[in-house]
């Protein structure tokens, strides 16, 4: 993984005629994690999309060093394909390859023949975690990553994120739920409301 960094400078986001937030700035380097908190509709998902480069900010700028992986509610796998074939498609695109040892800790190895549309919410979320970081991106943008996960799977996911951060990755987590990784700082989006 190449050294990661993401800097937001004086960001503002507008949805329609409504300004969601303004004046938001932060700087994250490898080994750091930030949790974005705030009520529904305050722009948490929009902020992640801005950080990923998928949405232009109303004002301000974002600078990134390293690849970015976004994990949100949209599963990037073909719902009609069996899980193994859906992963194989991305292997051909990414060239990254998925190894059996990566599937096992996520509880996905026995689901290779199951069409993606039949996976539970938690299984789909775990599959998305693996697919979204095939290239070993330096920055993870995680939108409500614990939704749909049972207690054990949520603990495993948080441990995975903790290991990723310890290895020099950056995690930006938008979540209503408490998230347990060492050194996590919080940014309250309401503090940047107009």
Q: How many CB atoms lie within 10 A of CB 61?
A: 11
3-state SS string over 108-163? Answer: CHHHCCCEHHHCCHHHHHHHHHHHHCCCCCCEEEEECCCCCCCHHHHHHHHHHHHH
Paired tokens of 191: 């503090």
Question: Within 10 Å of residue 181's Cβ, how many Cβ atoms?
Answer: 18
**Of 40-44, 73-77, 82-86, 140-144, where does mean pLDDT reach its minimum?**
73-77
Give the model confidence (pLDDT) of 81-139 as tens digits.
Answer: 898 888 788 777 766 556 556 667 677 878 888 998 998 877 887 787 776 665 578 89
pLDDT per position as a tens digit, 6-36: 999 999 999 999 999 999 999 999 999 999 9
List, for residues 142-165, the tens digit of each pLDDT value. 999 888 788 888 888 888 889 889
Q: CATH number of the domain at 1-67+137-194, out of 3.40.50.300, 3.90.1150.10, 2.60.40.10, 3.20.20.80?
A: 3.40.50.300
Return the domain boundaries, the chain: 1-67+137-194, 79-135
Q: Which two tokens stand for residue 138?
A: 């330096």
Spatial CA neighbour of 127 closest among 165, 170, 76: 76
pTM: 0.84
Q: Where do runs of H (alpha helix) occur along the chain?
A: 44-52, 83-94, 100-103, 121-132, 151-166
Q: Which residue in 185, 189, 180 sits closest to 161, CA to CA?
A: 180
* 68-71/139-143 β-pairing: parallel
């Amino acid at each position: 993984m190449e050294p990661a960094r993401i800097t937001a400078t004086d960001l503002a986001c507008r949805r329609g005629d409504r300004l969601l937030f303004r004046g938001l700035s932060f700087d994250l380097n490898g080994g750091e994690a930030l949790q974005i908190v705030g009520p529904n509709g305050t722009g948490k998902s929009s902020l992640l999309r801005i950080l990923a480069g998928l949405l232009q900010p109303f004002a301000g700028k974002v600078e990134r060093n390293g690849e970015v992986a976004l994990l949100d509610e949209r599963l990037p796998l073909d719902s009609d394909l069996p899980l193994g074939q859906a992963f194989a498609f991305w292997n051909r695109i990414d060239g990254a390859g998925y190894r059996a040892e990566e599937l096992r800790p996520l509880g996905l190895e026995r689901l290779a023949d199951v069409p993606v549309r039949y996976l539970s919410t938690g299984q789909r979320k775990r599959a998305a975690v693996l697919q979204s970081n095939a290239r070993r991106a330096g920055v993870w943008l995680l939108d409500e990553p614990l939704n749909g996960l049972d207690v054990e799977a949520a603990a495993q996911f948080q441990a995975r994120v903790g290991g990723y951060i310890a290895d020099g990755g950056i995690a930006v987590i938008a979540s209503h739920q408490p998230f347990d990784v060492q050194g996590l700082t919080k940014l309250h989006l309401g503090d940047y409301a107009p």
